[in-house]
Amino acid sequence: MSATTTPNHHPVVIVGGGQAGLSVSWYLGRAGVDHLVVESKTPTHAWADSRWDNFTLVTPNWHCRLPGYAYDGPDPDGFMTRDEVVDWLAGWLDTFTPPVREHTTVTNLRQTGDAGLALTLNSADGIETITCDQVVIATGGYPLPVIPSYASSLDPAVSQIHSEQYFNADQLPDGAVLVVGSGQSGAQIAEDLHLAGRRVHLAIGNAPRVARFYRGRDCMTWLADMGLYDTPTQEYPGGRAAQEKTNHYVTGRDGGRDVDLRQFAAEGMSLYGALADGKDAQLRFAPTLTASLDKADSVYNSICADIDRYIEAHDIDAPPASRYEPVWEPQSDPTDLDLHAAGITSIVWAIGFRPDYRWIEASAFDGAGRPMQTRGVTQVPGLSFVGLPWMHTWGSGRFLGIDRDARHVADSVVATLGETRLRLAAGQ
């Protein structure tokens, strides 16, 4: 094992050139560590390639912090649009020069006999193998879009896309649209279609909701002050069950506002419970609509109550407390839908993504295929991760937590490389 760079060996390889991987690169560069970033497309491409046209951040702009760089624009409490985020990231990339190899895919990662790691790369130049002492996986927590198995048995005349393929209402055929999923993407895409004048049907799951603004401030600013984004995962209220929940739906569009599915229904959107299965033009839903709406509102009010207690405990002068009261109630829980009878010509699947680490040959994953790690570091020598949701705190995977997580992973990598060099110098 070598701790120096050769044409086919690098002390550190970072797989993934998004903001998390490049943040580790920033710290390694500052530490003088030779390394290589391998990116399948171009740095931070997902922001331009996988967000719809009217996308905005759901976290305030002041959350946007990366190594050596933070949002310093005129609207810290606002919400950058997709294009503004792309420009902001481009500004960050102008501040340093990461050693990125673009348009190159890592198809295999394995341990070698001398305690190093080998990566198989595939690019326009062909297939090759490189080795390294340390590798940091920064490919994102859930890269594979989820589409249910029964989707292929639905009428092919109905167009189907995943949420990552959605950009605007005009790309879909004329007619009504069914959006499946009420997490952040599903709720906001349903809103986007609704505002564009499309007839929308929405199948909702168990995603909770949160107020955009409460008692004079953005709720996420209150939560940051309360320390929720800094609480280590093992200390977070609710434990693993809380970490498995879908993120709260809310929007930063038009300056930020609540996403109120009941209000959408009052305006003509059709709501259903969780989609259970389907064949041809017939869909079946679980009778969960009423319970799901009630649960989401309960979480909304619970968060507001937590903020109330924080305000009281710290004697903060703020506008009076309030609670959300439903503006619409379902008359029943619908369980069936005929796509043709409802005029639905397209479906947007917004039921999330799943992990895919099949290309990594290492015993670093649990039964669900998720990395077993502590603040990004695994028990497999030389293997680390960054950019995972809940990797260290609720802030992990968000702009607010990336800098801290990347610094910790980079420090661990640098320390391990130092130990390796000492062993080599001692002839061990």
State yes or no: pLDDT of 426 exceeds 60.
no
> Does residue 337 lie in a domain region?
yes
pLDDT for res 389: 87
Give the residue from 304, 329, 349 where a domain finishes.
349
Instruction: Tell me which of 349, 376, 395 is where a domain ends.
Output: 349
Residue that terminates a domain, selected from 334, 349, 364: 349
Give kind and range of the element (H or E) at residue 186: helix 184-195
Q: What is the pLDDT of residue 260?
A: 98
CA distances from 29 to 19, 24, 102, 124, 231 (A): 15, 9, 18, 27, 29
Task: Tell me the residue range of the domain where 319 lies.
Answer: 146-349
| Confidence class for position 247, pLDDT limits 50, 70, 90 | confident
**Cα-Cα-Cα-Cα dihedral sign, residues 220, 224, 225, 226:** positive
Q: Are residues 398 and 322 in the same domain?
A: no
Q: Are 45 and 156 within one domain?
A: no
Compute the average pLDDT of residues 123-135: 97
Q: Note whether residue 59 is domain-resident.
A: yes
Q: Could you tell me if residue 2 is inside a domain?
A: no
Q: Are residues 155 and 102 in the same domain?
A: no
Range 343-368 average pLDDT: 93
Residues 134 and 242 in one domain: no
* 20 sits in which H/E element: helix 19-30
With a cut of 70, say whether residue 331 has pLDDT above it.
Answer: yes
Query: Could you tell me where the beta strands, DSSP code E, fall in 69-210?
Result: 69-70, 100-101, 104-111, 117-123, 126-137, 144-145, 159-162, 176-180, 200-203
Q: What is the Cα 364 distance to its own chain's centre?
A: 21
Residues 151 and 139 in one domain: no
* One domain, residues 202 and 310: yes
Residues 6+ apart with CB under 8 A from 115: 1, 381, 382
CATH number for the domain that contains residue 130: 3.50.50.60
What was the pLDDT predicted at 143?
76
Q: Report if residue 213 sits inside a domain.
A: yes
Closest residue by Cα to residue 182 from 127, 76, 261, 253: 261
Residue 1 lies in a domain: no
Could you give the CA distance from residue 64 to residue 56 in angstroms, rounded to a whole number? 13
Quick check: is 4 in a domain?
A: no
Task: Read off the pLDDT of residues 79-103 as tens digits, 9 standing for 90 and up.
Answer: 999 999 999 999 999 999 999 999 9
The answer on pLDDT for 5 being more than 90 is no
- Flag whether pLDDT at 154 surpasses 80: yes
For the chain, give the mean pLDDT. 93
All residues at 6 or more sequence positions from 281 whose CB lies less than 8 Å from its CB, including other chains: 154, 155, 158, 338, 339, 340, 341
pLDDT of residue 425: 47
Q: How many residues does the chain have?
A: 428
Residue 238 has pLDDT above 80, yes or no: no
- pLDDT for 231 equals 87
Clarify whether residues 168 and 286 are in a common domain: yes
Query: Span 239-266, mean pLDDT?
Result: 86
Q: What is the pLDDT of residues 360-416, one digit of tens each?
A: 999 999 988 889 999 999 999 999 999 998 888 888 888 999 999 999 999 999 999
Residue 363 shares a structural domain with residue 259: no
Is the domain of 171 the same as that of 296?
yes
Whether 252 and 264 map to the same domain: the answer is yes
Say if residue 291 is in the same domain as residue 306: yes
- Rounded Cα distance between 27 and 359, Å, is 26
pLDDT of residue 220 exceeding 60: yes
Give per-residue pLDDT as tens, 378-387.
999 999 999 9
Residue 333 is assigned to a structural domain of this protein: yes
The confidence band for 306, taking pLDDT boundaries of 50, 70 and 90, is very high
Model confidence band, residue 338 (pLDDT cutoffs 50, 70, 90): very high
pLDDT above 70 (res 4): no
Domain membership flag for residue 101: yes
d(CA 356, CA 335): 33
Q: Residue 2 above 70 pLDDT? A: no
Q: What is the pLDDT of residues 174-193, one digit of tens each?
A: 999 999 999 999 999 999 99
* Residue 428: predicted pLDDT: 47
Looking only at the bridges linking them, the beta strands covering 126-137 and 383-385 are: parallel
Counted domains in the chain: 2
Helices 399-425 + 19-30 axis angle, to 10: 40
Same domain, 224 and 312: yes
Residue 114 has pLDDT above 80, yes or no: no
